[in-house]
């Protein structure tokens, strides 16, 4: 069953009350890191909870603001609507729909900046609004998801650090 979430704009993370922020140094150029994050085929290779990801938008409408992608995860499936697409700088989406009813709004923001040759800093923000019925349970739910995203950020560093990948950047 799908649950419809609140549409959000690119500024949502700055006003969200609930969020997780993961900052990591990644051994890839900003463009190579962006390309990795933008490629649905890459996600199951590094994100532990990801089972699969695919574009819903047809070919000419992909890789830009307004594009729609589907992520299938162990925690629930998500229809992602992109609100920022600036290669090497920022990638961001809100969830249009989810199969998990925990939140009424959900947003992921990937801000990238160069920190040296072939190295980037990634600030990954996951911002959300729990549904009213689940707010009393967030003390138990929040740590699980905070750990999942933190571990995913570490997994991204490991994946990006693989010699075959760092030589390609």
The per-residue pLDDT string of the chain (169 residues; one tens digit each, 9 = 90 and over) reads: 999 999 999 999 999 999 999 999 999 999 999 999 999 999 999 999 999 999 999 999 999 999 999 999 998 999 999 999 999 999 999 999 999 999 999 999 999 999 999 999 999 999 999 999 999 999 999 999 999 999 999 999 999 998 765 545 5
- Residue 15, C-beta contacts closer than 8 angstroms, at least 6 positions apart: none
Give the pair of three-digit tokens for residue 50.
Answer: 């990801």
Question: What are residue 95's phi and psi, to 5 degrees?
Answer: -85, 120
> Strand 103-116 relative to strand 68-73: parallel, antiparallel, unpaired?
unpaired
**CATH fit for domain 3-168, picks 3.50.50.60, 3.80.10.10, 3.40.190.10, 3.30.530.20:** 3.30.530.20
**Which value, to the nearest 10 degrees, does the dihedral of the CA atoms of residues 48, 49, 51, 57 take?**
-110
Distance CA 149, CA 159 (A): 15
Domain boundaries, the chain: 3-168
Alpha helices in 9-162 (DSSP H): 12-15, 30-38, 43-46, 138-160
pTM attached to this predicted model: 0.94
Element (H, E) at 165: helix 163-168
Q: pLDDT at position 163, please?
A: 74
Q: pLDDT at position 165, please?
A: 58
């Amino acid at each position: 069953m799908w649950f419809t979430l609140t549409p959000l704009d690119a500024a949502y993370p700055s006003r969200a009350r609930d969020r997780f922020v993961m900052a990591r140094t990644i051994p890839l150029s900003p463009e190579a890191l962006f390309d990795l994050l933008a490629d649905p085929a890459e996600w199951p290779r590094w994100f532990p909870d990801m089972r699969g990801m695919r574009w819903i938008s047809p070919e000419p409408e992909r890789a830009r603001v307004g594009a729609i992608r589907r992520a299938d995860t162990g925690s629930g499936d998500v229809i992602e609507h992109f609100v920022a697409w600036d290669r090497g700088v920022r990638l961001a989406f809100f969830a249009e729909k989810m199969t998990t009813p925990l939140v009424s709004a959900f947003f992921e923001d990937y801000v990238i900046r160069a920190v040296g040759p072939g190295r980037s800093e990634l600030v990954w923000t996951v911002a959300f609004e729990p549904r009213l019925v689940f707010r009393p349970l967030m003390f138990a739910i929040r740590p699980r998801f905070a750990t999942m995203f933190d571990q995913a950020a570490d997994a991204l560093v490991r994946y990006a650090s693989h010699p075959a990948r760092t030589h390609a950047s």
